[in-house]
Amino acid sequence: MIKIPFWLKKSDTDPGSLEYITIGSPKIDKVREFGWNSYNCEVYFSDIKYNHPPIYGTNPIDPLCLASEIVKIYFQGLVNCGYTISEVESREVWKLEKGKSLSEQISEIKNNKDISAEGKQKILGMLKDTFGKLPHMKDQINKAIDDKAQK
């Protein structure tokens, strides 16, 4: 299990809060949902009681890599929303680059010709289910998905 603690702050007047993300250890999927041996792990966010649906892969490394992408998108979304993320003990600010906005990422998904319409809806639904429940990103993800759905 990987636990990532961090200090999250919106502005100079905001006292901030201790947050964390936990990535579970990859486990063999006993349900064998896909008909082949698979591994899964889960991602938990500290500020909600919800956890991301299990992430699957054919070996233990794949779900960890995918989980790290979810964490990366989460942190980039926080930075894009104006949050400062710092070390817990020293409060030294993490040097995080602003990544693609959620709107840009959603546009890429919507315009990807290699993904079926059903697949796109499933991916967008998972994004909304995952990030739409996070208080820091709820408005951003809902607006991005709803704006793109109307076009």
Look at residue 92 and tell me whether its pLDDT is greater than 60. Answer: yes
Q: Give yes or no for a contact between 54 and 108, defined as CB atoms under 8 angstroms apart.
A: no
Residues 41 and 67 in one domain: yes
Q: Looking at residues 7-12, what average pLDDT do you find?
A: 86
Boundary-marking domain end, from 56, 71, 97: 97
Which of 2 and 107 is assigned the larger pLDDT?
2
Cα–Cα dist 44/23, whole Å: 6
In which domain, by residue range, is 129 found? Answer: 100-151
Cα–Cα dist 102/108, whole Å: 10
Residues 105 and 69 in one domain: no
The mean-pLDDT minimum among 34-43, 60-69, 129-138 falls in 129-138
Residues 104 and 84 in one domain: no
How many structural domains does the chain have? 2
Residues 89 and 125 in one domain: no
Residues 62 and 136 in one domain: no
Residues 14 and 83 in one domain: yes
Q: Is the dihedral of CA 125, 100, 59, 117 positive or negative?
A: positive
Backbone phi, then psi, for 23, in 5-degree steps?
-110, 120
pLDDT band for 148, please (50, 70, 90 cuts). Answer: very low
Question: What are the structure tokens assigned to 146, written together?
Answer: 């709803």
Residues 109 and 76 in one domain: no
pLDDT band for 150, please (50, 70, 90 cuts). Answer: very low
Sequence-ordered strand ranges (E) for the chain: 2-9, 17-23, 27-28, 39-41, 43-45, 55-57, 84-86
Q: Looking at residues 141-148, what average pLDDT do you find?
A: 70
Boundary-marking domain end, from 57, 80, 97: 97
